[in-house]
């Protein structure tokens, strides 16, 4: 805090060369700090409070230019930002009013949830994480930023970096899964993609890292629920991706809806001011979640708008999204002495700095160029990346007898593609809540290449006879379709079942209490599966699902997630072997809901845990402890072998770097990509440590017979940990290092760290 305010003083004295707030380093906007101060000096209290007010646009509430007083409020300098507005011409109009018809001409900043693409829709973020391909993820977000910025959006509310272990929570689809290390790398890649190297460039947008913090751990997976966890666990599992995002220069952060350890996150001073701003030295803009300042009153942690405003601003939050709480309460909070003018100024400074960084003061219409819009949205080459991304995200869970890929000259002649998601023309499928539902987006289903639409011609071209049989999930037609589907399967030599979840059921406020394939689809799987045809189950899902019978009995299972616009093409690429699957699970798949939360980086109990049905062990009477599929798991059409781990020595000084070397060989007949994963275990720390912690990974491509040697380096930042007094430390003693292709099948090496 001392550093922070002295930096401010230096800045206000005009020694600007010394002032480089973390995110502003990435903008070419000139003389940032002096211009912020000059602007601030001109503003009245009302204008300042207006800058802290963000209001929703057309898609969420119907609030719009023309049908309410939005323009009047902009004219009155009561609005600093508009979110979720889709109409390009109206954005031009609003910006014109802000620039020309207000006293100071401060530009508006437009925010939007660009979650898995803007106009070109990519696989959901959880799927992207399953690619473990950071270069690909960065390219996706670069395209998303190209499109969003060309359509007048300046700011995305992404990446969501909430680590979660609970598939009941609908928003697992929006994150990178259960692991803080993988989550950190994904967060950095996404921020690099959105923000590029210069925030002021017309084709970049500001990132907003969310939701700070703990939201992924809502009790019972119930949306918006309470979160309670030890500060040590918070440091270890929740905060790392946020820290990585802050270090990567995320221009903004968003509060979380939840109460964390008793405090609503929007008014959590420890989180926002002590950890994020002071300890991590992050100087960006903190925006609330949708009315989360107002919800502090509902939580029973603030009395009224005045109290909520005072508590949220004092905690370090800056901008009020959609709640109007600051509009109603901040001035009275100042008059009542609950906040100071300096505190309000500090929040306004951050908003102004944000707008300057985006280059909005230099050219408020930079992002509102009709010609660029026409030339940019949905360019064909963006589709090519969407196809690549969808294929690389898919995870092959099972492939008994090498049933896949389907190749020419196969002994099968007739293939039946069956299921509710074989050819769904509904605009509720293959994408997510963020791109579908609630009348929120203008997408129509014709933009999606459906599975059968691409797979059927691809297979026919290879000489197969293909039938497509849809199964309607509506209770009225289910029984009829179901018997038609059985007939179709009987008539075929091979069956491809397309099952899963509706895209509309993925995302915010889509929590569930069952992980079984919804709408009785486990029954479809078992009835078709019992026909004993060679059968492939393709899942379109947004979370780990439970399909116990299919897991045991269906020979091939492919997790396709919600793949976006290029669903069918990507599926055809993978099923026909044009693309060799290389995705790995970013989230453990449980055998049953009863195992949740289940995650790979757990602590050991003091008891054996493998013996099902035995008392005095740490297990279940009715189920194994092991998950259905572990974190990091995914098969390929080829096989890889791992050599033993080579370590230069067995004892290292605590200041030294450990190098673990492994050789991976493609032992199969086709080229393939492998995600080589590096885990550690600290066996003798002063507190109990997880049985495994991911500390590195590399995705490599190997031709048949080719070998590659990889070296993973481990130093104090990998081997240390937060203890229960919240001190980062590393203890001498025994460690293990594990290298392999998933979190279970690993080669192991041992070393010791000594003083």
List residues near ligand BGC by CB under 6 A: 83-84, 113, 157, 210, 289-290, 508
Helices (H), 614-666: none
Look at residue 548 and give its three-state secondary structure.
Answer: helix
Burial class (CB in 10 A: 0-12, 13-18, 19+), 253: buried
Could you count the other beta carbons within 10 Å of the beta carbon of residue 569? 24
Q: What is the 3-state secondary structure (H, E, C) of 141-210?
A: HHHHHHHHHHCCCCEECCCECCCCCCCCCHHHHHCCCCCHHHHHHHHHHHHHHHHCCCCCCCCCCECEEE
414 phi/psi in degrees, rounded to 5: -110, 130
Identify which of residues 175 and 630 has a Cβ nearer to ligand BGC in the complex: 175
User: Residues 97-131, buried b or exposed e (16+ Cβ, 10 A)?
Assistant: bbbeebeeebbbbbbbbbbbbbbbbbbbbbbbbbb
In the complex, the smallest distance separating the C-beta of residue 305 from ligand BGC, rounded to whole angstroms, is 20
Asked if residue 500 lies in contact with residue 541, where contact means CB atoms within 8 angstroms, the answer is yes
Identify which of residues 56 and 586 has a Cβ nearer to ligand BGC in the complex: 56
C-alpha 477/C-alpha 336 separation (Å) is: 63
Identify which of residues 157 and 519 has a Cβ nearer to ligand BGC in the complex: 157
Strand partners, 700: 674
Structure tokens at 254: 């968003």
Burial class (CB in 10 A: 0-12, 13-18, 19+), 373: middle
In the complex, the smallest distance separating the C-beta of residue 437 from ligand BGC, rounded to whole angstroms, is 13
C-alpha 114/C-alpha 374 separation (Å) is: 19
Name the closest residue to ligand BGC (Cβ). Answer: 157
In the complex, the smallest distance separating the C-beta of residue 505 from ligand BGC, rounded to whole angstroms, is 16
Strand partners, 381: none
DSSP state of 739: E
Using omega within 30 degrees of 0 as the cis cutoff, is the peptide bond preceding 211 cis? yes
641 phi/psi in degrees, rounded to 5: -115, 150
C-alpha 609/C-alpha 660 separation (Å) is: 29
Look at residue 105 and give its three-state secondary structure.
Answer: coil
Structure tokens at 64: 């719009």
Burial class (CB in 10 A: 0-12, 13-18, 19+), 624: middle
Identify which of residues 83 and 187 has a Cβ nearer to ligand BGC in the complex: 83
Asked if residue 493 lies in contact with residue 534, where contact means CB atoms within 8 angstroms, the answer is yes
Identify which of residues 151 and 481 has a Cβ nearer to ligand BGC in the complex: 151
Identify which of residues 157 and 637 has a Cβ nearer to ligand BGC in the complex: 157
DSSP of 578-605: SS------SS-B-SSGGG-S--SSPPP-
In the complex, the smallest distance separating the C-beta of residue 83 from ligand BGC, rounded to whole angstroms, is 6
In the complex, the smallest distance separating the C-beta of residue 163 from ligand BGC, rounded to whole angstroms, is 15
Identify which of residues 11 and 358 has a Cβ nearer to ligand BGC in the complex: 358
In the complex, the smallest distance separating the C-beta of residue 245 from ligand BGC, rounded to whole angstroms, is 15
Identify which of residues 289 and 731 has a Cβ nearer to ligand BGC in the complex: 289
Asked if residue 317 lies in contact with residue 255, where contact means CB atoms within 8 angstroms, the answer is yes
Identify which of residues 148 and 574 has a Cβ nearer to ligand BGC in the complex: 148
- Active site includes 162? no
Q: Using alpha carbons, list the distances in angstroms from residue 54 to 44, 70, 256, 288.
A: 18, 11, 16, 9
Identify which of residues 183 and 518 has a Cβ nearer to ligand BGC in the complex: 183
Structure tokens at 435: 């791109």
Q: Which of 64, 268, 289, 731 is catalytic?
A: 289
In the complex, the smallest distance separating the C-beta of residue 175 from ligand BGC, rounded to whole angstroms, is 11
Structure tokens at 29: 């906007």
Structure tokens at 231: 């500060």
Residue positions counted in the chain: 755
Active site residues: 289
């Amino acid at each position: 805090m001392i550093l922070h305010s002295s930096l401010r003083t230096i800045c206000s004295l005009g020694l600007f060369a010394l002032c480089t707030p973390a995110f502003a380093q990435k903008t070419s906007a000139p003389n940032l700090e002096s211009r912020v101060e000059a602007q601030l000096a001109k503003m009245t209290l009302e204008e300042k409070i207006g800058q802290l007010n963000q209001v929703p646009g057309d898609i969420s509430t119907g609030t719009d230019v023309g049908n309410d007083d939005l323009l009047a409020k902009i004219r009155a300098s009561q609005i600093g930002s508009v979110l979720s507005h889709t109409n390009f011409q109206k954005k031009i109009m609003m910006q014109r009013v802000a620039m020309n018809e207000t006293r100071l001409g401060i530009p508006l900043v437009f925010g939007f949830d660009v979650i898995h693409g803007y106009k070109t829709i990519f696989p959901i973020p959880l799927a992207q994480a399953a690619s473990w391909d950071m270069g690909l993820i960065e390219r996706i977000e670069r395209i998303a930023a190209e499109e969003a910025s060309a359509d007048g959006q300046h700011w995305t509310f992404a990446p969501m970096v909430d680590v979660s272990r609970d598939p009941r929570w609908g928003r697992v689809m929006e994150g990178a899964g259960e692991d803080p290390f993988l989550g950190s790398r994904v967060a950095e890649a996404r921020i690099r993609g959105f923000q590029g190297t210069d925030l002021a460039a017309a084709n970049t947008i500001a990132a907003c890292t969310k939701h700070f913090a703990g939201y992924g751990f809502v009790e019972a997976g119930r949306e918006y629920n309470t979160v309670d966890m030890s500060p040590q666990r918070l440091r270890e599992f929740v905060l790392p991706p946020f820290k990585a995002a802050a270090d990567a220069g995320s221009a903004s952060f968003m509060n979380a809806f939840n109460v964390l350890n008793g405090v609503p996150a929007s008014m959590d001073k420890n989180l926002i001011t002590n950890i994020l701003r002071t300890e991590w030295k992050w100087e960006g803009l903190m925006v609330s979640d949708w009315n989360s300042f107002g919800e502090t009153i509902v939580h029973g942690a603030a009395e009224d708008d005045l109290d909520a405003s005072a508590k949220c601003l004092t905690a370090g939050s800056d901008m009020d999204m959609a709640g109007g709480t600051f509009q109603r309460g901040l001035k009275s909070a100042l008059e009542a002495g609950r906040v100071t003018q300096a505190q309000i100024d500090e929040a306004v400074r951050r908003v102004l700095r944000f707008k300057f960084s985006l280059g909005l003061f230099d050219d408020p219409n930079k992002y509102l160029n009709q010609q660029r819009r026409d030339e940019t949205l949905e360019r064909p080459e963006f589709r090519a990346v969407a196809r690549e991304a969808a294929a690389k995200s898919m995870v092959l869970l099972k492939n008994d007898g090498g049933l896949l890929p389907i190749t020419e000259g196969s002994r099968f002649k007739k293939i039946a593609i069956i299921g509710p998601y074989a050819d769904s023309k509904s605009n509720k499928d293959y994408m997510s809540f963020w791109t579908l539902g609630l009348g929120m987006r203008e997408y129509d289903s014709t933009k999606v290449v459906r599975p059968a639409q691409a797979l059927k011609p691809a297979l026919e071209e290879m000489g197969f006879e293909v039938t497509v049989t849809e199964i309607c999930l509506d209770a009225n037609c289910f029984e009829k379709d179901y018997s038609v589907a059985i007939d179709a399967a009987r008539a075929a030599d091979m069956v491809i079942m397309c099952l899963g979840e509706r895209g509309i059921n993925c995302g915010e406020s889509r929590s569930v209490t069952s992980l079984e394939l919804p709408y009785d689809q486990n029954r479809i799987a078992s009835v078709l599966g019992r026909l004993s045809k060679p059968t492939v189950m393709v899942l379109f899902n947004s979370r780990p699902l439970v399909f116990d019978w299919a897991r045991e009995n269906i020979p091939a299972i492919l997790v396709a997630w919600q793949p976006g616009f290029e669903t069918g093409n990507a599926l055809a690429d993978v099923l026909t072997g044009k693309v060799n699957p290389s995705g790995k699970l970013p989230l453990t798949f449980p055998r049953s809901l009863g195992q949740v939360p289940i995650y790979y980086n757990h602590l050991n109990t003091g008891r054996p845990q493998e013996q099902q049905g035995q008392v005095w062990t740490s297990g279940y009477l009715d189920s194994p402890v092991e998950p259905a599929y572990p974190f990091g798991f995914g098969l390929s059409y080829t096989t890889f072998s791992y050599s033993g781990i080579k370590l230069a020595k067995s004892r290292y000084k605590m200041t030294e770097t450990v190098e673990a070397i492994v050789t991976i060989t493609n032992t199969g007949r086709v080229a393939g990509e492998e995600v080589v994963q590096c885990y550690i275990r600290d066996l003798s720390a002063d507190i109990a440590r997880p049985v495994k912690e991911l500390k590195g990974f590399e995705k490599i491509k190997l031709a048949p017979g080719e070998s590659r040697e990889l070296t993973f380096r481990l130093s104090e930042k990998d081997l240390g940990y937060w203890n229960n007094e919240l001190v980062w430390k590393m203890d001498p003693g025994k460690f293990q290092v594990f290298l392999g292709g998933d979190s279970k099948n690993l080669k192991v090496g041992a070393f010791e760290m000594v003083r």
